[in-house]
Amino acid sequence: MKSLAIEHLPVIASAPSGVKKLRELILQLAVMGKLVPQDPNDEPAHSLLKRILEKKRSGTSSVSDPMIAKNNRGVRAAFEPPGSWVWTNLDEVAIVNPRNVVQDDVVASFVPMNLIGTTFSGQHEQQQRVWKEIKQGFTHFADGDIGIAKITPCFENGKSCVFRNLTNGIGAGTTELHIVRTLDGTIDPRYVLAYFQSPAFLELGESKMTGTAGQKRLPKDFVRYNPFPLPPLAEQHRIVAKVDELMALCDKLEAQQNDSEAAHSLLVKTLLDTLTQTQDADDFAASWVRIKENFHTLFTTEESVDILKQTLLQLAVMGKLVPQDPNDEPASELLKRIQLEGANKESGARQPALRNPVPHQIPGSWTWAKLGQVARKITDGTHHTPVYVPAGVPFLSVKDVSSGFLDFSNTRFISREQHEILSKRCNPKMNDILLTKVGTTGIAVSVDTECEFSIFVSIALIKMPEPVDTRYMTMMLNSPAVREQSTAGTEGVGNKNLVLRKISDFWIPLPPLAEQHRIVAKVDELMALCDELKWDIQASRRLQDQVSSVMLQAAVCGESETADDSRKQRVLSRAQT
């Protein structure tokens, strides 16, 4: 590898896809002749090619069209290989898609696509079948053959293997494979595997796939005739050994990254837990200052910022995010007013059993209540699939709100007549709350649009009375304490369902109305800080990826320290800053 890439290996490896790119670099350098030094004592590849062609002519194997072979040897791909190498193609030096001739009662290996890996180890798993059960309608292979997936997305993912330890040395499997069989003692199968897994082969192969979306396949002729860089046999073995060595290094880097990420997540969770254990808003403010001073050390991943957001929501509904004001009307009086004004008469909730345990402690001016005590109405969308029309009133299902906001980009439509019928029972309006209740459950979304729409049974509609801040209620429903109740109340295994009765029975922490407004303002302020922090992380990751790509490109292209390299150094300096 280029010294530039080695010098900045930590920068490359720490990029979001750094280790993946390192693996790709190793494979690309391997098939370009840049991974191990050449040995002048090796038999040159042109002599090896001559031996292979003589071996094929003396056997029963077909030999490729001499004009095709000549043309391919004259082709120069994106690089110039070492002088001891030669350009050829797999149809010249191997057998593509061979067939086995075996007795019907022989036990053989069966390998479906899901048992084939994507790593350079070339490993696969296998099942045992009698040959007569698998000889027809499946791809044939034998020990030492190389298989590569030909269908999308398996090809793009690099699914490929070298078949080993097959029962009785033979096997059959998925029809979505191309098989290459080398002649004994001529080509190392795992060098062919490196060629198949190299980025250049995969990228070019993807552009040559044919068929419709989701069913694209790699043509057999691409495997047969694409230029194949053939090194001396001894160098092939050295390349495979070096790739194994470097892949093991990548495994260690990946394990270190995973260990580091796990330790980092534990640190973030432990420190954020201290916030939820603070006594009051003043105590929280002091603890928050300490954490804020170390923001760029603690919150270096998008996942850690998401954990921070959930912690802030939890603090909000525990009364620790803003100070209490003794002049506020107590929440117990607010609850009485809500009930006097007729809340709950449509939702049918029971009175709360206060002797039941509640999720956490709350300030004295707050009160616990059941959601059904506070909400004016709790219902769900239509239980019958409507007749869809090309254009009309949007009809939302759980998929349209499970992202945490109203998404009209992929909705279906119903006629206005159907909408008016459905809205007599369930009519979502501005400032109402939607709650997912089938499949993905417990995600609350505030209705922030005046647009009319109807909803399916997979969404619950919660209408709040006037003396309640709807945005506080949405935050509260999305907080960990209430989400835990949502998870506990979800029934079923496959098509999970959160029934209305369980939603109505949610324990909710109710603050004074004035404090609800202060909480919403504070959460907005802190969530904006979190979003800014996440944007910085994303920008940093993009820059890391850019630097990683520049360094790896330099290693592949063998560029010297030119004016263009000055640009690379500037990019690197930005990343280090």
pLDDT digits (tens, 9 = 90+) for 106-133: 999 999 999 999 999 999 999 999 999 9
Quote the CA–CA distance of 308 and 305 in Å, as a whole number: 5
Quote the CA–CA distance of 273 and 284 in Å, as a whole number: 11
Quote the CA–CA distance of 21 and 482 in Å, as a whole number: 42
pLDDT exceeds cutoff 50 at 312: yes
pLDDT exceeds cutoff 50 at 327: yes
- Respond yes or no on whether the N-terminal peptide bond of residue 40 is cis (omega within 30° of 0): no
Going by pLDDT thresholds of 50, 70 and 90, the confidence category of residue 342 is low
Quote the CA–CA distance of 556 and 2 in Å, as a whole number: 8
Ordered domains of the chain (ranges, CATH)? 1-28+241-326+513-577 (no CATH), 66-231 (3.90.220.20), 331-511 (3.90.220.20)
Quote the CA–CA distance of 314 and 335 in Å, as a whole number: 22
pLDDT exceeds cutoff 70 at 324: yes
pLDDT exceeds cutoff 80 at 569: no
pLDDT (tens digit per residue) in 175-226: 999 999 999 889 999 999 999 999 999 999 999 999 987 789 999 999 999 9
367 close to 339: Cβ distance less than 8 angstroms: no
User: Under 8 Å CB-to-CB from 29, ≥6 apart: which residues?
Assistant: 1, 35, 555, 556
pLDDT exceeds cutoff 60 at 66: no
Q: Helix, strand, or coil here: 486?
A: helix
